[in-house]
A and B are shown apart, each in its own frame.
Chain A
Amino acid sequence: MGTRRLFKNLDFTLIGVTGIIIIFGLVVIGSASTDYGWWMRLGLDMDKLQHAGILQRLLWMKKEYVFKQFIWVLVGIIAAMAVIYIPYEDWRKYTRHLYVINLLMLGLVLVLGHTAMGAQRWINIGPFVFQPSEFAKLIIIVTLADFLAGREGKLRNLKELIPCFVFVGVPMVLILLQPDLGTSLVFIAVLFGMLFIAAGRPLLVCGIFGAGLAGAIGMVWAHLKFGTWIPLHDYQLKRLIIFLDPWSDIQGAGYHVIQSQIAIGSSGFWGKGLMRGTQSFLEFLPIRHTDFIFSVLAEEFGFLGVLLLLTLFAVFLYRGVRIAAESRDLFGTLMAVGVVSMFAFHILVNIGMTVAIMPVTGLPLPLVSYGGSNMITNLAAIGVLLNIYLRRQKTIF
């Protein structure tokens, strides 16, 4: 397959949408990481900021994180290109190795884990921190797609489904041990998304999913009501359910959610303007450039900005679904559905968290949140989609 033809068959809508989201994200990261304390030290003052034009404000932003993120984007693009280059059918030969490497990486985290915010998620490699659970998501998508494609037509009852659960369950437990509840939940979303396509009886899959969800909620409810056992510490549970009533702990667990809601709610239709978001600029909003980047975006760009971002995501996901549908084989379809599930789940949980309809789990907003591993994984995942799309025609004829 020549490079020219490869280039011609790329999904430019997907690439375009991704590009716009990333650029949007870089601007917001710049704004979010600029706090007044740093800014004042440059000899600037607030009144100047209020009168500065948008270009001026862009120049005044703190560039450190923008540059870093930009580098990650470049790395991500290289990774994506690498992913695109090798025909995805060939990957099936290496899925076993990938699966084992994945488990080793996750095990390594548990042993060497670098503690940040009470969770051991990172490994230091030289100057870089490396978050295996991010890559694990993509690896699981690929390996699971292979696993399911191999059982095509077999997944008709619970007995046949159990190996799939075990297949995803092992790396998931390793991630839960870190503990990283959010990422392990991504695994569940991906698993059920892909099972829905692969299984012979999709209703059974939906039923299991529904029962599992109901079971989890029931357990939490029973714990709160009767004090029955659940596999969570009280503080972890509190973080999970605080979104139901953030005002019950204004200074503590509810603080993030409240500040985020204030940031989003106070911006109105037009937004407060770049770097003029009081919630973020004055540091009321915590972890602004990573988990709560959406709040900054919503505060500064208002409903218009949110509408733009969600439209871009909608187009992005639509393209993902189309690619899945147009894939020439089930392996491709399953991978594409896995990627779409992953993105959709991240978007739902991250934005949902900022607007208090989802628990605070620390999942980043794909393509927007600051973070190297996540950006590389996401771009590589897009590479997977492009790869599938690139090779769709074979069976169309």
Chain B
Amino acid sequence: MKRKLIEYKMKFVLGAVFLVILVLLARVSYLQLVQTEEYRTLARNNYIRIAPVFAPRGEIFDRNGEKIVTNRPIYTVSINDLNLEGTTYHLYLNRTGADIVDMADTLAWILAGDEETLLYFEQISGETLQDYAKKNGVTIKQGEDSGNAGANDEQLYVLKKKFIEEKIKERARDNKNQLEQGQRLEIAVVYNPSTMATLNRYDLESYGVTVEKKADVLSTLVQMLLNKGVYQGQTAYEIESRMRKEIRDKKLYRPYEPVLVAEDIPPEMVVALREKQMELPGVVVDIQPVRDYPYGDLLTHVLGYVQNIKKEQYEAHKDEGYLMNDLYGQNGLELVYEKYLRGEHGARQVEVDASGRPVRDLGLKPAVPGNDLVLTIDLDLQLAAEKALADGVKRAQGAGFKLARAGAAVVMDVRTGAILAMASYPTYHPGIFTGGLTSAEWQELQESGALLNRAIAATYPPGSTFKMVTSAAILEKKIVDPEYKMPDPGYYRLGRGVFRDWKPGGHGSVDLRKALEVSCDTYFYQFGRMAGVDAIAHFAREFGLGQKTGINLPGEMRGTLPTPEWKYEMVKSMLIRYNKDFARVRELNRMIDETQSESRKQELRRLRDEELEKQLKKHEWDLNWQQYETINMSIGQGDNTYTPLQLVSYVAAIANGGTLYKPYLVEKVVSPHGALIKEFKPEIRHKVDIDPENLQIIREGMHRVTLPPTGTASGVFYGFKHSAAAKTGTAEVIDANGRKKGNHALFVTFAPYEKPEVAVAVVLEYGDSGSGYAGPIARQILEAYFNDSGATDIDKSKDRAGGDAAAGREEEPAGRETGVVAINWPGLEKHQDGEAGLNEPGGTSFDQMLWEKLHEMPAATRPVTGPSVPAPLPRAGRQAQQQPAPAPQQHQPAPAPQQPQQAPAQQQQPASEPRPQPAPVPQPPPVNAPQAGQPASPQQQPAPGAHLPAQPEGGSNG
């Protein structure tokens, strides 16, 4: 019976035992048979690392197949093991002599200043300082309160100290047994040697604390690299602490990626590392391609540069297979053709062990290099253009124009629109971005202005290079017969305003060709005004000025083509923003923004519109286009600003008979195996609507510019072996205080004259004069184009230090001629080329006028002389400075109705130029309109044909 009971109970025991087995079997089946795939993935993630094999980017060639950008391999060192600490100091507490309270207090004061040690305490205790502060009712304010920052810092320090002290005490308390048994207890880890040095000033032994210095793979590696001079100017601590930070981040979200320790290490270092491989587990030496530039900074603005992909770029393109530390084109062609250049990364599958040490390669997917670009750029010509530009800057500086520090030159094939050379000065070496820049380096680079591609991203007033546009308007509108010879008195009168020619006394009798040849301002004042702003603006637009050319480069600027509509909108927005009369409008706008109710909003809008209309009417004169502005525009002054690229396209269109091509830089994209991927053909943007005969007249005029004796660029082309056509330009720049800062020098040219092939535009900032300093640059470029032997000794060697450049250049005919030219007109001083600088009457800038208007300056206090003209209106960056602002002593040629009497009084020219005053030029009656208190408008002005008796069409066409 007892046996029976036991048998019965045994059934339960057996049941329990089998239940155990079944539960386990069920669980294992679930893991192994149901969730297999999930766990397989996890296992693979454990032991298989995909190491990227970076694809070399496509190379970039010039039109003749010369390599401009290529790649070179660099060695990188990374560590796979993420359990790294670098060099550390471990503080141990010994049982004997440990007065824990004292010890913790002392240590905590010192350790609280060490961020990394603080992190250590946060990690071992699992409590952050934030939590600790919250628990103790303290709020940590981060940064913001600037007023009491000092006190706050102190509080924070005390808090940190208390935190550390508590953690140390806690540890000592929790491990009391261990301590009492004579074992030592780690209480802190110090990373920073300077913290350790501070600690060492205390007698740590007396606190029962011993220190042990530990070095791991990372610190051994860093020390090796330091000894070989791989890191410059950094201490082991700095490097290790940077790594530790990265490791901490990676441990959280990318635990399998190796940490990059050093880039571009020397080959002997690679050998040394390979030898010590066994002592440095987890250290991997890899090869990675980086950009290499055999010609240094050549073409750098066009090429752009490559850098590690930025966060936004990564976010935007991560679906295209970019890696976290991938490269990405940051500017120029590298950016535009990124998708062709980047190639396809390969991958190496590596089996690793638990500490990330590679065990073996499982497979390799080779990288596919990016596609190559073949540019339209001609390497020799580009080298010549950059050298010419640099020489030009040096020459101008040598002549005392210290501000001449920058410029641009563009060379275009007039038959296709292909860019043969595009230079911007100053330049930078694109390779500096490879290793990453410090923020100081970056700032310095930005401030130097070298990053800007002045050929497309800077706009300049065209000065007299604009006169071909005015010519086109005059010819097409048939304002005057091109053969008609105008007697040039050297000035032009509008009402009581007098516009002077650059050459006192004028150029004698001048027809259109001659007007271009000698850059006669009077001619263009006269007939440009008759053609009207609409016609001039129309042809400027026809020639593509003030419009983006559509070149495949980022950052192209549009420039400004001033028109009456443009002016109206511009002034209106300025008035609304700044003028006191518009205070009510601003107030109403603000109310509209703040009001919620839609009906109220409508009501307010109505009120606002009424008020606006009233005030606009009051300021009608300011808003409307004025005659003097047309006159300014005729000679390329006023608010015109264009990019050098626009100028070259415009000249190319003149040269090729009126075809405006879309400028392009890339001829084709070729695969690494040579297969054509994409080809770029010339693309016609626009056919200029102009009579070919008229265009021929303009070309003749431009040709005569290059011819002696009176062509403004005859000196430039002295001894030049080919025929050419050109136009010089000089545009005055006024600084923020209204003082003259200098002149921008411009030069446009095409050659050969009979059968044009190539057009060049050169801008030299503060280069003083177009013919003096921009012209020789263009000539040097043309000589390189025509391969004139000996003319330009272009240094094509890869080391482009160019120390001999300045001296050598002086021997050249072009350079010498420039000198001669300068001497030819000694009386003109800086105005060799004879442009109407804005210190001649006539050039009142829109900006100054507007500024005065907006500030309601009473007539009496208006600056008559001196530099008290206020700063130009706020405008974006550099453009503001380049605006040809009026010289301070200038006055509005068409005076404001409020002060009709003032203008004439101030129209005095220097005594040396008495002629204009008694000039018996008849005044066309409408010009007097402003004096009658009526704003002048172009429409109201009949053709000023009064002194054009011989001009048949003039009157009827006005």
Contacts and interface: CB of A to CB of B under 8 A. Distances in A.
A324 B352 CA distance: 50
Interface in B13-56: 13-14, 16-18, 20-21, 23-25, 27-29, 31-33, 35-36, 38-40, 42-43, 46-47
A45 B20 contact: no
Closest 7 CB pairs of A and B: A265-B39, A266-B43, A283-B354, A266-B39, A265-B31, A282-B353, A46-B360
Contacts of B29: 303
A385 interface: no
Contact of B39 (A45, A264, A307, A340): A264
B27 A265 contact: no
Interface string A158-190: 000000000000000000000000000000000
Interface stretch (A61-69, A85-93, A343-351): A343-351
Contacts of A266: 36, 39-40, 42-43
B47 A278 contact: yes
Interface string A197-226: 100001000000000000000000000000
Contacts, number: 141
Interface string A294-310: 00001000110011001
Contact of B6 (A197, A303, A306): A197
Nearest to A235: B174
A197 B24 CA distance: 25
A251 interface: yes
B39 A233 contact: no
B7 to A, nearest CB: 6
B387 to A, nearest CB: 58
Given A265-B31, A279-B46, 5 more contacts: A46-B360, A265-B38, A278-B46, A303-B29, A317-B18
B13 A340 contact: yes
A348 B9 contact: no
B9 A196 contact: yes
Interface of A: 35-37, 40, 45-47, 115, 193, 196-197, 202, 233, 251, 259, 261-269, 278-279, 282-284, 298, 302-303, 306-307, 310, 313-314, 317-318, 320-321, 324-325, 330, 333, 337, 340, 344, 347-348, 351-352, 355, 357
B43 A278 contact: yes
Contacts of A307: 25
B629 interface: no
B359 interface: yes
Contacts of B36: 265-269
A37 B353 contact: yes
Contacts of A330: 2, 6
Contact of A303 (B28, B40, B47, B251): B28
Interface of B: 2, 6-7, 9-10, 12-14, 16-18, 20-21, 23-25, 27-29, 31-33, 35-36, 38-40, 42-43, 46-47, 174, 183, 251, 351-355, 359-360
B359 A46 contact: yes
B47 A233 contact: no
Contacts of B6: 197, 324-325, 330, 333
Contacts of B40: 265-266, 268
B10 A324 contact: yes
A300 to B, nearest CB: 12
A172 B51 CA distance: 53
B13 A355 contact: no
Given A278-B46, A340-B13, A344-B17, A264 B25 contact: no
B17 A340 contact: yes
B251 A313 contact: no
A268 B39 CA distance: 9
A115 B23 CA distance: 34
A352 B24 contact: yes
A347 B20 contact: yes
B351 A46 contact: yes
Of A45, A264, A330, which is in contact with the most chain B CB atoms at under 10 Å from its CB?
Answer: A264
Contacts of A355: 24, 27-28, 31
A95 B174 CA distance: 39
Contacts of A310: 21, 24-25, 28
Contacts of B47: 278-279, 282, 284
B10 A325 contact: yes
B17 A36 contact: no
22 contacts: A46-B351, A196-B9, A197-B9, A197-B10, A197-B13, A233-B174, A262-B42, A263-B43, A266-B43, A278-B43, A279-B43, A282-B352, A283-B355, A317-B18, A318-B14, A324-B10, A325-B7, A347-B24, A351-B24, A352-B23, A352-B24, A355-B28
Contacts of A40: 359
A48 B191 CA distance: 43
Contacts of A357: 23, 27
B14 A265 contact: no
B7 A317 contact: no
A357 to B, nearest CB: 6
B351 A306 contact: no
B74 to A, nearest CB: 29
B494 to A, nearest CB: 83
Contacts of B23: 348, 352, 357
B32 A302 contact: yes
A165 B128 CA distance: 44
Contacts of B13: 193, 196-197, 321, 324, 337, 340
A306 B30 CA distance: 12
A325 B10 CA distance: 7
Nearest to A263: B43
Nearest to A279: B43
A306 B43 contact: no
Nearest to B252: A251
A369 B681 CA distance: 76
Contacts of A196: 9, 12-13
Contact of B17 (A35, A46, A251, A321): A321
A305 B414 CA distance: 81
Contacts of A283: 353-355
A312 B745 CA distance: 98
A265 B20 CA distance: 20
Contacts of B17: 314, 317-318, 320-321, 340, 344
B33 A303 contact: yes
Contact of B16 (A259, A265, A344): A344
Contacts of B359: 36, 40, 46, 282
A321 B11 CA distance: 9
A348 B24 contact: yes
B20 A348 contact: yes
B28 A284 contact: no
B32 A298 contact: yes
B843 to A, nearest CB: 73
B18 A314 contact: yes
A164 B784 CA distance: 110
Contacts of B39: 261-262, 264-266
A193 B14 CA distance: 11
Given A202-B9, A262-B46, A321-B13, A36 B353 contact: yes
Of B25, B29, B32, B40, which is in contact with the most chain A CB atoms at under 10 Å from its CB?
Answer: B32
Contact of A268 (B25, B32, B46): B32
A321 B10 CA distance: 7
B20 to A, nearest CB: 5
Contact of B32 (A35, A197, A306, A340): A306
A284 to B, nearest CB: 5
A320 B42 CA distance: 39
B360 A45 contact: yes
Nearest to B15: A321
Contacts of B351: 46, 278, 282
A259 B23 CA distance: 21
Contacts of A264: 28, 31-32, 39
Nearest to A115: B183
A347 B18 CA distance: 12
Of A37, A266, A306, A310, which is in contact with the most chain B CB atoms at under 10 Å from its CB?
Answer: A266
Contacts of A352: 23-24, 27
